[in-house]
Chains A and B, each alone.
Chain A
Amino acid sequence: MAASRVDVRKTYKLYIGGAFPRSESGRSFVVNDAKGKFLANASLASRKDARDAVVAARKAVPGWAGRTPYNRGQILYRIAEVLDSRGDQFVAELVRTEGVTAAKARTYVEAAVDRLVWYAGWADKIGQVVGNANPVSGPFFNLSSPEPTGVVAVVAPRGPLLGLVSVLAPVIVTGNTAVVLASEAHPLTAITLAEVLDASDVPGGVVNILTGTVSEVAPWLASHMDVNAIDLTGVTDPELATDLERAAADNLKRVRRAPATEPDWLATPGIDRLTDFLEIKTVWHPIGV
Chain B
Amino acid sequence: MNFEYAPAPESRAIVDIKPSYGLFIDGEFVDGHGHSFKTVNPATEETLAEIAEADDADVDRAVKAARKAFRGWSRMPGKERAKYLFRIARIIQERSRELAVLESIDNGKPIKESRDVDVPIVAAHFFYHAGWADKLEHAGLGANPQPHGVAGQVIPWNFPLLMLAWKIAPALACGNTVVLKPAETTPLTALLFAEICQQADLPPGVVNIVTGAGGTGQALVSHPDVDKVAFTGSTDVGKAIARAIAGTDKKATLELGGKAANILFDDAPIDQAVEGIVSGIFFNQGHVCCAGSRLLLQESVADEVMAKLKRRMGTLRIGDPLDKNTDIGAINSAEQLARIRALAEIGEDEGAERWSPPCELPSSGFWFPPTVFTGVSQAHRIAREEIFGPVLSVLTFRTPAEAVEKANNTPYGLSAGVWTEKGSRILFMADRLKAGVVWANTFNKFDPASPFGGYKESGYGREGGRQGLASYLKAGA
Contact = CB atoms under 8 A, between A and B. Distances in A.
Interface of A: 129-130, 132, 134-138, 140, 142, 144, 149, 228, 238, 241-243, 245-246, 248-252, 254, 270, 272, 279-286
A284 B437 contact: yes
A228 B426 CA distance: 26
Given A137-B124, A242-B247, A246-B243, A284 B445 contact: yes
B307 interface: no
Contact of A252 (B438, B439, B450, B459): B459
B254 interface: yes
A286 B436 contact: no
Interface of B: 124, 140, 142, 235, 238-240, 242-243, 246-247, 254, 256, 411, 426, 430, 435-442, 445, 447, 449-453, 455-457, 459-460, 462, 465-467, 475
A159 B452 CA distance: 38
A250 B239 contact: yes
Contacts of A284: 437-440, 442, 445, 450
A160 to B, nearest CB: 27
A282 B466 CA distance: 12
A32 to B, nearest CB: 33
B120 to A, nearest CB: 9
A134 B440 contact: no
Chain B CB within 10 Å — which of A144, A245, A254 has the most?
A: A144
B447 A252 contact: no
Given A137-B124, A282-B452, A285-B441, A249 B436 contact: no
Contacts, number: 105
A251 B465 contact: no
A136 B449 contact: yes
Which label, helix, strand, loop or mixed, suits the secondary structure of the A interface?
A: mixed
A252 B238 contact: yes
Nearest to B413: A279
Contact of A249 (B242, B438, B452): B242
A130 B451 CA distance: 12
Chain B CB within 10 Å — which of A242, A281, A286 has the most?
A: A281
Contacts of B465: 132, 134, 144, 282
Contacts of B462: 280
B246 A283 contact: no
Given A270-B475, A282-B452, A238 B438 contact: no
A140 B447 CA distance: 11
B246 A245 contact: yes
Contacts of B243: 246, 249
Contacts of B456: 228, 251-252
Given A129-B140, A252-B238, A280-B462, A134 B436 contact: no
Contact of B438 (A129, A136, A281): A281
